[in-house]
Amino acid sequence: MKSNLNSISKTLATALFLVFLGTAYISCTKPSPAAVVAAVGGGSMSATCNGTSIAFVPAAVLNSGIFTITGVQTNTAPVENMVIYTNATTTGTYTLNFGGSTNGNAALYSVGPTTGSMTSYRTDSTHTGTLTITTLDMTNKTMTGTFNFTGKQSNPTVGTATATVTSGTFAGVKW
């Protein structure tokens, strides 16, 4: 359990770094594929989290057959992050019911005053949701879909509190 949480934290930290790096540097030259792990090249992501509509800056990574779709909202306090893991290889509807990032389909929502002091809520066997991938373009490396889930508090301590994410969408997100 602890290694799954550590893996989620490391993946989220890497994705957040790449999102911030990509938004800080805009170039007209195409970077080499070996130098880029995630492409911040457009697309959109939004969701309603605990009743509040949020627009996220999206990014995605494909690593060892696992897609990590991330969204970061830093325009206003609190800071909010969304992470969806899926091993999907085609369009379809998938159950978000796994707590880790190395196998299966999982989701994580984090909120807090700063990135270092966030409370995270994740899916598990009893706190589930749905991911529907409507477009998965392996040639152009983009994806589109919808998601929703209820997550159980997993960080900084495991608790009984939950977060509800509804009306989640991502469109044209590149990896």
pTM equals: 0.75
For residue 80, pLDDT beyond 60: yes
Give yes or no for a contact between 70 and 36, defined as CB atoms under 8 angstroms apart: no
When pLDDT is cut at 50, 70 and 90, the band that residue 116 belongs to is confident
Q: Which pair of tokens denotes residue 95?
A: 């159950």
* Domain boundaries, position 49: 2-174
Give yes or no for a contact between 168 and 73, defined as CB atoms under 8 angstroms apart: no
Q: Which pair of tokens denotes residue 50?
A: 């605990």
| Residue 157 pLDDT | 86
What's the gap between Cα 155 and its chain centre? 16
Number of structural domains found in the chain: 1
Give yes or no for a contact between 98 and 106, defined as CB atoms under 8 angstroms apart: yes
Question: If you average pLDDT over every residue of the chain, what do you get?
Answer: 79
Q: Which pair of tokens denotes residue 40?
A: 């911040």
When pLDDT is cut at 50, 70 and 90, the band that residue 13 belongs to is very low
Give yes or no for a contact between 39 and 92, defined as CB atoms under 8 angstroms apart: no
For residue 82, pLDDT beyond 80: yes
Question: Looking at residues 106-130, what average pLDDT do you find?
Answer: 91
Question: Looking at residues 116-135, what average pLDDT do you find?
Answer: 94
Question: Looking at residues 40-49, what average pLDDT do you find?
Answer: 86
Q: Phi and psi at residue 4, in whole multiples of 5°?
A: -65, -45
Question: Looking at residues 164-171, what average pLDDT do you find?
Answer: 98
| Residue 121 pLDDT | 96
